[in-house]
Amino acid sequence: MALRRGLANRVREHRTHLGWSQEDLARRAGLSRAGVSAIETDRLVPSCAAALALARALSCRVEDLFHLTGGHREPRGPFWAWPPPSNPCRFWRAEVAGRVLQFPVESTPLGVSPHDGIDRAGTAQDAAWSDPTDTMILACCDPAVGLLAAELARRAGLRLIALVRSSRDALQLVRQGLVHAAGVHLASAREAQGNAAVVRQWLGPGYHLLRVARWEEGIASDPSLRLTTARAALRPGLRWVGREPGSGARQCLDELLGQRPPPRRLAADHRGVAEAIRCGWADVGVCLRLTSQEAGLAFLAVREESYEICYPEAMNDDRRIRSLAEVLRSTSYRRRLGELPGYDSSETGALQRVS
């Protein structure tokens, strides 16, 4: 267990998980918004009363929000990575940066993964399904992440838990030390600095990017519309399904729409966009060629993007990161990935340091 300095706090993480603004939290805790801001940004060490008020407002324990790190060894946990949405709540466990974290079970691209236990009112009942040090948590929106999970299990005996997150949210989790790695595709393949510039801007130096693929993103549509150009997809009367800000698909959509307002109805990921169109709830949306073709939709390519996995440089020697790099560079994985519609695996496994 590593020695750390200062007082670590996770107030912002708990607040944003609930969808609250700083003003919302301040009102519920009986504090000022400026005080909440100062605590979240480590400019103010909260009093005991303030810490208790925040914990009560956020329905968690004080130790879930704050822990001493200067001159003390940080306990290994387990701690909730973020507040559980229900009681009881199934969870997965993984060791991340020296701490054992509990992750509330959620829908993933990998289907139903066995949980490690059930928490009932703060009491965990373990199922001991997997060793936390053999579990890797990846936040991403790659619909083909199942290929990666299968290869990691086969070659290294590792369990991969893939959490569906936009590029921006995934990088935020990496910054907070809550996941091992984040999938990011916020730059077109033509941009010289690509995703490295985004990571440098949002996280700073000290990270690595592992190339997974170059993939095609574009407009999926109901085949009966017979759209042949992006301009035709923008004609009045067509129902768009959007994506949340901070996702690569939303970035592509904003470029297409220009000054037009974004869609009000949002999908959680690429498959969500395709399903909305396939089920008739929308006519068009932005997603990957892979998910569009899987759903039997028409597809117009808009741009090619670099999709990469970002992880902290400090994790270079972690067995899970080393195994991840080995799998990405393996012939079998690259071949299978390259056979997917819209995926180019010619540069898969390339490593770039963000300095």
pLDDT at 72: 47
pLDDT at 1: 35
pLDDT at 189: 57
| Separation of alpha carbons 286 and 132, rounded Å | 36
Structure tokens at 167: 């590029």
pLDDT at position 182 over 80: yes
pLDDT at 59: 80
Rounded to two decimals, the pTM is 0.77
62 versus 151: which is more confidently predicted? 151
pLDDT at position 42 over 60: yes
21 versus 216: which is more confidently predicted? 216
What mean pLDDT comes out for the span 222-250? 93
Helix or strand holding residue 230 (H, E): helix 230-233
pLDDT at 142: 96
Query: What is the pLDDT of the chain when averaged over all its residues?
Result: 89
What mean pLDDT comes out for the span 227-250? 92
| Separation of alpha carbons 159 and 76, rounded Å | 20
Residue showing tokens 């077109």: 188
pLDDT at 5: 47
3-class secondary-structure state, position 109: coil
pLDDT digits (tens, 9 = 90+) for 107-161: 998 888 899 999 888 787 877 667 889 999 999 999 999 999 999 999 999 999 9
Give 36's pLDDT tier (boundaries 50, 70, 90): confident
Helices 319-329 and 331-338 pack at an angle, to 10 degrees, of 60
Sign, Cα dihedral of 213, 219, 221, 227: negative
pLDDT at position 4 over 60: no
> 70-77: long-range contacts at Cβ-Cβ below 8 A with a sequence spacing of 24 or more?
70/4, 70/5, 70/6, 70/7, 71/3, 71/5, 72/3, 73/1, 73/2, 73/3, 74/1, 74/2, 74/3, 74/4, 74/8, 74/98, 74/99, 75/1, 75/99, 76/1, 76/100, 77/101, 77/102
Residue showing tokens 């969500």: 272
Query: Where do the structural domains in the chain lie, given as residue ranges?
Result: 3-73
String of DSSP letters for 273-295? HHHHHHTTS-SEEEEEHHHHHHT
pLDDT at 345: 97
pLDDT at position 76 over 70: no
pLDDT at 160: 97
pLDDT digits (tens, 9 = 90+) for 262-313: 899 999 999 999 999 999 999 999 999 999 999 999 999 999 999 999 999 9
Query: Would you identify the CATH topology of the domain 3-73?
Result: 434 Repressor (Amino-terminal Domain) (1.10.260)
pLDDT digits (tens, 9 = 90+) for 189-233: 566 578 999 999 999 999 999 999 999 999 999 999 999 999 999
pLDDT at position 78 over 80: no
| Separation of alpha carbons 127 and 118, rounded Å | 8
pLDDT at position 22 over 90: no
CA dihedral in degrees (40, 42, 46, 51; nearest 10)? Answer: 40
